[in-house]
Each structure stands twice: as structure tokens, then as C-alpha cells.
Structure 1
Amino acid sequence: MPLLRSLDQAATHRYGRVLLATAIVVVAMIALPDNDLGRGFALVLQALLLVMVTVAARDTRSRVLTTIGVAAAFVGVISAAGATLSTWIVLGLSCALAGAMITTLAIGVVALVRTTGVTVQAVAGGLAMYLLAGMAFSDLIGAVAAVGDGYYFAQGTDGTSGERIYYSFVSLTTTGFGDFTPSNEVGRALAVLEVLIGQIYLVVVVALLVGNLTRRDARADGPGSP
């Protein structure tokens, strides 16, 4: 599309904007009501975020990403208009959006590092993937809660969509407030997996990006620099 191609040229690898937009979407999804209107707006926000990601990663011609984004936006508008949708449709599209964004960001950040080295934009892209991982885990929690016999949380609830996102980030960051705790083995295993991924990602991927960014700046400011 001509519009996406023109945006592509203007916003290549602007992952700082993607990081800011991702944080805004996460907060908005936690605050949105757990009803058809809220779920519809959440899908539309994620579809718009996918557009930003594909533009930043210069992947605007991908038919798969376009199909996922259009489908999510269409279903989101229908839900926001008052239509009651299956939980699996909403969860499936939300998980597909998160997976598509993480994959696209990873490819784009790797391409950026290979061409220009580690930059602030690359670090921002890495952090955006971290936030998207939290969103993806909240969808997995919703899926487990939907198929389980009892309540997902020991507090006697499956949680609203916003509460599941909140709990996901509490687990991902190992904050552990304790107001929501999984009640079964599958939930506990998922929590452990998210904790491990969250910590390993920070101490390996983000640390490597920041460490190489620091060394690159130090070389630039070294004795041989003007």
C-alpha cells in the first residue's frame, strides 16, 4: 500500500516510538472494562500497534501480518459495537497479534544491529519485546482459565482480562505482590516459565544490548576520538 510504504520510509527502525506505544497499550488494556466494548477496543489498539511494529521493522509488505492486523481490527470493531464474541476468538487473535509483533520486532532489531550495531533504538526494540511477552502470557493464562474446571486463581476467580495482564507482568518482573496466585499445577508451571523467561531475558538479552551500547559509546569517546 502506498501509505504504508511512505510511512515505512519515514519511520524505519523507530523502536523508541514502538516501546512508548506498547507501554501505553498495556496500561490501556489493564484499565479497559472486561466487556465486549473493552475487549473490542483492546483488539483495535493491538492492531494499530502491529502497524507501528511492521512500519518500524520495514515489513509492511507481509501478507500474513496484514491479514492478522485487518482481522483483529475488524473483529475489534464488531465487538466494540456490542457483538458478543467467543472467548477463543478474542484470545486467539490477541495471541496471534502478540506473536506476530514479537517475531517482527526480533527480525527488525537483529537486522538493525547487523547493519548499524547496537543503538538506542535497538535497546528500545528489545524492551518492547519484553512488554509484548507479558501480553502474550496473559493470553495463555486466559486460555488455561477457559479450559480449566476450577478457578485459575486461588482467590476464587479467573480474573478479568485486565487482572490477567496485571498478574502476568507481576510474574514477568518477579514482583510477586501475592494478591493473585495460581490455584493448580498448570497455572504454577506457567508462572514459573514466565518468571524464568522474564529474568533470563533481562539478564541476557537486555544486558547484552545495553552492554554493547555502552562499549560502543566508550570507544566513540576514547582517546582516538575527536
Structure 2
Amino acid sequence: MSVTRELPENAGFFVTHRWSILLGLLALLILLDGFDDHFVWADTIALWGLSLLFLGVVGATERRTTLRLIMAVPVVAWFAMILVSELWGAKMDGSLAVVAAILLFGSMLISFRQLIGPVHSEYERLSSGIFGYLLIAMIWGLIYWRIEVAHPGSFNLPDDVGQQRAPFVYFSMITMTTVGYGEITPAASLPRMLTGLQAIVGTMFVAIFIGRIVGRLK
């Protein structure tokens, strides 16, 4: 049986459509990632877009909960490091990557909570599930990218692909969907195990997600 949450009559547009908005923003960020090697401004826009995404996820978390407080701490750290980097030119790429990984993982967990918790709309539950699915692909893609940067040659890459982030997010998405075109393949033991694990996680997530949605719509 479906469980829905009543909202105040004056609830704003973001409150009633927050996961749909966050899903649209995440999709735009993934698409924008493909332009980072063509336009110098793409990285800057992606950085601030990711900041808005993190703020939106915190806003979508239930008020006065421990989870919201836990998520708010790295968000504050994220904005503080961005300001330090922009105002004083400090190199904080490594620290930003760590905080981003924490926030992405936390955002994924929060989106998964919507699959089992009460919501005001089943469409919002659907949006939060797709949001979490895309986040899994993004997180795995960032892991692949960092492995290749730390240990070049961990992946068999086309000649026109260097150490950009976007090809690894793409590889993650086609692995997640078990498409496997084959132009990028793991060449070391760790990425091979990770790609196999991701394929299993992706398949299980789709099965569980569809089961939850269909079960609640009955």
C-alpha cells in the first residue's frame, strides 16, 4: 500500500517537486561533464552546479533530523574550501574531491530513503530512485577516474582519451546498464573487480527499484 505525506497548502514549488528538480540538475551536470575538454567555463559551471545539488539534497532531507545535520557539516566545509580556493587561489583539488565523494555518497543514501519512506507523490519517489541510480553511476565513474590518474594503464583507453573525467563516467554508465560497448575496458585486477561488482549492483538496483515502485502503485 502506498504511503504518502500530506503537505501544507502553501508548500512551494521546490518542496512539492524537489526530487524532480534535483534529478534534472544532476542530468544537466552529467551532460555538462562532456564539455569540460572543449570549454574552459564548463568546470566552473559544473562546480557551482554541484554546490547547488548538495544544497538541494540537504533541503530535501527531513527537518530536524540527524541525517540533515550530518549532511550539513560537509556542505559547509565544501563551500568554505571553494571560497578559500577562489579568493586566495589555494590548491584544494584533493580535499574537494574527498568532500565531494562524501556528499555524493550521502546524497545517494538520502535518495534511497525515499524508496521506503513516506512521500507526498509517487512521482517524487520515482524521481528520487532515478536520482540515486545516476549517482551510483557517477560515484563509480569518479572512482575509475581516480584509479587511472593514480595508476595510469589501469584501463585500456582509446587514443583520443586521456585522463579526463567524462569518459570514465560514461564507462560507468554503460557498465551499470550492462551494455558494454568495449572501447574502454579494465586492464588491472582492481578495476575488473569493481566493474563486475557495479554490473551486479546495477542489475539488483533496477530489480528492487521496479519492484518497490510497482508494489506501491498497486
The answer to whether the superposition gives a TM-score over 0.5 is yes
Name the CA shift for 1:86/1:77 in 2 (closer, same or farther; >3 Å): closer
Give the residue type in structure 2 aligned to 1:177: Y
- Note if 1:186 corresponds to 2:203: no
User: Given the alignment, which residue of 143, 146, 150 partners 1:143?
Assistant: 146
| Post-superposition CA distance 1:25-55 (Å, at most 9, x none) | 2212232239996555433322211211222
C-alpha distance in structure 2 between counterparts of 1:182 and 1:209, whole Å: 33
C-alpha RMSD of the superposition: 3.0
Unaligned 5+ segments in structure 1 are 1-8, 216-226
Give the residue type in structure 1 aligned to 2:70: V
Name the CA shift for 1:12/1:32 in 2 (closer, same or farther; >3 Å): same
Name the CA shift for 1:80/1:179 in 2 (closer, same or farther; >3 Å): farther
User: Given the alignment, which residue of 174, 179, 182 partners 1:175?
Assistant: 179
- Note if 1:71 corresponds to 2:77: yes
- Percent identity over the alignment is 15
- Note if 1:200 corresponds to 2:204: yes
Name the CA shift for 1:107/1:128 in 2 (closer, same or farther; >3 Å): same
- Give, in angstroms, the shift of residue 183 of structure 1: 1.1
Task: Name the residue aligned to 2:132.
Answer: 129
Give the residue type in structure 1 aligned to 2:71: L
- Give, in angstroms, the shift of residue 191 of structure 1: 0.7
Q: Which has the higher helix share?
A: 1
- Note if 1:107 corresponds to 2:113: yes
Name the CA shift for 1:122/1:190 in 2 (closer, same or farther; >3 Å): same
Name the CA shift for 1:86/1:151 in 2 (closer, same or farther; >3 Å): farther
Task: Name the residue aligned to 2:46.
Answer: 42
Task: Name the residue aligned to 1:56.
Answer: 60
**What secondary structure does 1:12 align onto?**
helix
| Post-superposition CA distance 1:149-188 (Å, at most 9, x none) | x422113766311111111111111121212111111111
User: Given the alignment, which residue of 147, 150, 153 partners 2:155?
Assistant: 153
- TM-score, length-scaled by structure 2: 0.77
* Paired positions, count: 202
Contact conserved, 1:58 with 1:108, CA < 8 A, in 2?
no
Name the CA shift for 1:40/1:151 in 2 (closer, same or farther; >3 Å): farther
Name the CA shift for 1:59/1:132 in 2 (closer, same or farther; >3 Å): farther
Unaligned 5+ segments in structure 2 are 1-10
Name the CA shift for 1:164/1:72 in 2 (closer, same or farther; >3 Å): farther
C-alpha distance in structure 2 between counterparts of 1:82 and 1:161, whole Å: 26
Contact conserved, 2:115 with 2:129, CA < 8 A, in 1?
yes
| Post-superposition CA distance 1:121-172 (Å, at most 9, x none) | 1111111100011111122113322432x42211376631111111111111
- Give, in angstroms, the shift of residue 86 of structure 1: 5.6
